[in-house]
Amino acid sequence: MPRMDARLVFCTCPDAATAQALARLLVERRLAACVNLLPQMQSVYRWQERIEQAEEVQLLIKTTADRLEALTAALLQHHPYELPEILAVSPSAGLPAYLDWIRAQTREDT
């Protein structure tokens, strides 16, 4: 069984256009193998001591552990939020062929 170096990164965006632009950038740069956009999500959170509510788009970004630092840097550079959600989790299992595909799609260009 392949080692579990895949990462699933959650990142919220303020609108569909931002989400699409970020998703495309990450895939084009091989920082992500795939990005799913989940539109019209309602978020409730505390920001600067106020309770806020917003409609956002959730990105589900598939990448690898060795690309996570560069992915994070790209999100910080291009994301409009002052403090973007960048939350990476390690899956405990996955289809080996899919995990291989993630690795293949996120290899740095040589």
Tell me, yes or no, whether 55 lies in a domain. Answer: yes
The per-residue pLDDT for 32 is 98
DSSP 87-103: EEE--S---HHHHHHHH
CA dist 36 → 3, 14, 66 (Å):
23, 15, 20
Residue 1 forms part of a structural domain:
no
Q: pLDDT grade, residue 4 (50/70/90)?
A: confident
Indicate which CATH number applies to the domain containing 48: 3.30.70.120
The pLDDT, as a whole number, for residue 3 is: 65
Q: Mean per-residue pLDDT for 78-86?
A: 97
**pLDDT tens for each residue of 24-40:** 999 999 999 999 999 99
- The boundaries of the domain holding residue 55 are 6-104
In this structure, is residue 110 part of a structural domain?
no
Is residue 29 domain-resident? yes
Is residue 75, in this structure, part of any structural domain at all?
A: yes
Query: Does the residue 100 lie in any domain?
Result: yes
The predicted model scores a pTM of: 0.93
108 pLDDT tier (thresholds 50, 70, 90): confident
The number of folded domains in the chain is 1
